[in-house]
Structure 1
Amino acid sequence: MRYGILVLICFAVTLLSCKKDDDGGIVEVPPSLLSDVAPEDDEKIREFLNTHFYNYEEFKNPPEGFDYKIVIDTIAGENANKEPMMEDAKTITFDVSSSHLGLSAGEENIKHTLYYIEARKGGGGSPTYADSTLVRYQGYLLDGTQFDESQDFSWTSISRIVARGFADGYAQMSAGTSDQIVENGDGTYNINNSGIGLVIMPSGMAYFNRSPSGLIPAYSILMFQIELGLYVENTDHDNDGIPSIQEDLNSNEYLNDDNTDVDMESSLTGLLPNYRDPDDDGDGVLTRDEIIIENGEITFPDSDGDGVPDYLDPDSN
């Protein structure tokens, strides 16, 4: 088996798996537990990384005309002496709760491990998971099935990404720089010092029990190659003056569970986590008008001295 790899962004719609009962009716199958699936996924990922290699030799010593695409093959036969991907893979662990995936199981802070390889380090800095990024990508299942591709660079951000591990993956990489953009003459362009890497995420950091397309079954481990071109440092998705990365109030590297005025919102008006809400406390005063920005520095007044800054305190006015 030999295939090239890159990344994906797609949207999930199915919440529960179903099957027919003996009478021909539909029976809802409750989702598996995160605590059961996470270690199973980790075992599968580690087995894959230990039995496959990528074209690391070409990345170390690029031949003339090399396209800087990651290519994976099985360690066997004439490739029996190749270094397994596990030797280059690095890991980072995240806490995932059932509520993050819209599940009612009540599981909290289940450890999930994301694996990544930075095949070519970019010439620029590294984005956070909350920053908007310019990427090219291609996505695969572990069996080599391709589910999506972006052949040209496109801007994406955490507000558009359902597979959480995608943003957590590119946050481990270095981007390119704008002075290395090269026009191809056909409306496309390359970034000569872009970062190129591989990310493999467990299903709990992807779509878990949902199946967003016929190509991605429930409980799928996803594998991405990401070419990271540029990024917007301190992206502010709602333009409220506070970078989105600073709106992760519980510091769990997940922005959608930080919603100060959730009790005032409804499904009719829309639930807006703080990084997408220009009025974080729902008091009718814009967040931008309840903070102070001077020389690029942000301070957070607390008018009533209760320990809660005004922009998060609806009783401060």
Structure 2
Amino acid sequence: MKLKYAYLLIAGLIILSSCKKDDDPIGEVVPPRLLSEVVIEDDAEIIEFLKTHFYNKDEFETPPEGFDFRIRFDTIAGDNSGKQSLFASSNLITDVISVTSSDFGRDDGEVIDVKLYTLVVRQGVEAGKPTIGDFSILRYEGSLIDGTLFDASSNQPVRFNLSSVVRGFGNGMKNLQTGMGPVENADGTVSYEGYGVGAIFIPSGLGYFNNSPNTLIPAYSPIIFKVDAFAYEPDSDFDGDGIPSILEDLNNNGNLLDDNTDDESESFGVYLANFNDTDDDNDGILTIDEIELDAEGNFVGFKDTDGDGTPDHLDNDL
């Protein structure tokens, strides 16, 4: 799984990115460009693709025998000149997400709105949708805009938390309802029915920006992930501290990575965002011992022992 976000770069599963516009060697970290410049270029490239390509809509509407419910893109030209573009599709969702240049090692203070596009080809039958604080069970395929495949899961479902992937992937998944299952097959595999099918078009500012983990992805490249959304685990708790991880998005910006309430008191070189930290205020008392749980150990609420408005698990001066 090559979808890990920037802070997991050490683990070899981080943010990749690319720039067909630079001559820097691919597979290497290059000095970050201005976020505001890259955002404009990326959006133009994605929109150009969306306006000049279509997907196999007819097969999804009237599935032929043996259809695998996989998305296939093609160019609007020749015999396909009458096809509806992806950009004109009523199933294309645009999300505007705020990104800061400091996320990419720049100190120029840029805060830029970035557009993320999600094509919902088939909505799943289950009403719920995963959040960036949930474990998700899915199948995916990642490619560059030009179709170069750089990553894909096996045919079987994979499970990972949606804040360990590139930011745009997790934010795009919130648009997809999931399916029913798993069903155990005679050959030992599992399958799902009525699952969501979509494609997420991710600008590099929500993807790998200037850090590429392999030679397939240049810096500053928009990327596409085709996704089958099988299932998810609501109210997931990634670090086991008793708090559902989605509640650790303290600034409600759809990014768990920038919520770290004890960064100044942690050891040099250590970065533990709250959703990965079992002691969120670094006071030596585990978070799970500073919150309210029911008899079964389920999260009930936050404590504020001294009444200062800061929950105990974030208050290291009790």
User: TM-score scaled by structure 1?
Assistant: 0.87
In the alignment, what sits opposite 1:229? 230
Match for residue 158 of structure 2 among 154, 163, 183? 154
Q: 1:267-278 to 2 correspondence within 5 Å?
A: 267=268, 270-278=270-278
In the alignment, what sits opposite 1:176? 179
Matched, 1:255 2:256: yes
Aligned letter for 1:312?
L
Match for residue 114 of structure 1 among 99, 116, 127? 116
Matched, 1:99 2:93: no
In the alignment, what sits opposite 1:83? 84
Gaps of 5+ in 1: 1-6, 21-27
User: What is the CA–CA distance in structure 2 between the aligned matches of 1:148 and 1:185, rounded to whole Å?
Assistant: 28
Q: 1:41-80 to 2 correspondence within 5 Å?
A: 41-80=42-81
User: What is the CA–CA distance in structure 2 between the aligned matches of 1:109 and 1:232, rounded to whole Å?
Assistant: 32
**Cα offset, 1:267, TM superposition:** 3.9
Gap change, CA 1:294 and 1:14, over 3 Å in 2: closer
Deviations 1:216-248 (A, max 9, x none): 110010101001111110111111111111001
Q: 1:8 touches 1:139 (CA, 8 Å); kept in 2?
A: no
Q: 2:292 touches 2:300 (CA, 8 Å); kept in 1?
A: yes
Percent of paired sites with the same residue? 45
Aligned letter for 1:249?
L
Deviations 1:254-290 (A, max 9, x none): 111111111111245x321111111111111111111
The aligned length equals 298
User: What is the CA–CA distance in structure 1 between the aligned matches of 2:160 and 2:224, rounded to whole Å?
Assistant: 18
Deviations 1:81-109 (A, max 9, x none): 000011222100111112223x1233343
In the alignment, what sits opposite 2:288? 288
Instruction: Tell me which moved more, 29-38 or 51-60.
Output: 29-38
Deviations 1:26-74 (A, max 9, x none): xx96321111111111111111101000001111121221110101000
Q: 2:244 touches 2:299 (CA, 8 Å); kept in 1?
A: no
Instruction: Tell me which moved more, 87-96 or 66-75.
Output: 87-96
**Cα offset, 1:13, TM superposition:** 7.8
User: What is the CA–CA distance in structure 1 between the aligned matches of 2:63 and 2:169, rounded to whole Å?
Assistant: 27
User: What is the CA–CA distance in structure 1 between the aligned matches of 2:17 and 2:77, rounded to whole Å?
Assistant: 39
**Cα offset, 1:203, TM superposition:** 0.5
User: What is the CA–CA distance in structure 1 between the aligned matches of 2:238 and 2:224, rounded to whole Å?
Assistant: 27
**Cα offset, 1:16, TM superposition:** 11
User: What is the CA–CA distance in structure 2 between the aligned matches of 1:231 and 1:209, rounded to whole Å?
Assistant: 30
Flag the structure with more relative contact order, 1 or 2, with Cα contacts below 8 A and sequence separation at least 6.
2
Q: 1:278 touches 1:288 (CA, 8 Å); kept in 2?
A: yes
User: What is the CA–CA distance in structure 2 between the aligned matches of 1:29 and 1:59, rounded to whole Å?
Assistant: 41
**Cα offset, 1:187, TM superposition:** 2.9
In the alignment, what sits opposite 1:25? none
User: What is the CA–CA distance in structure 2 between the aligned matches of 1:13 and 1:79, rounded to whole Å?
Assistant: 35
Q: 1:16 touches 1:31 (CA, 8 Å); kept in 2?
A: no
**Cα offset, 1:120, TM superposition:** 1.1
User: What is the CA–CA distance in structure 2 between the aligned matches of 1:308 and 1:220, rounded to whole Å?
Assistant: 41
In the alignment, what sits opposite 1:23? none
Gaps of 5+ in 2: 5-12
User: What is the CA–CA distance in structure 2 between the aligned matches of 1:37 and 1:198, rounded to whole Å?
Assistant: 22
SS at match of 1:85: coil
Match for residue 132 of structure 1 among 120, 135, 138? 135
In the alignment, what sits opposite 1:299? 301
Gap change, CA 1:193 and 1:29, over 3 Å in 2: closer
Q: 2:260 touches 2:280 (CA, 8 Å); kept in 1?
A: yes
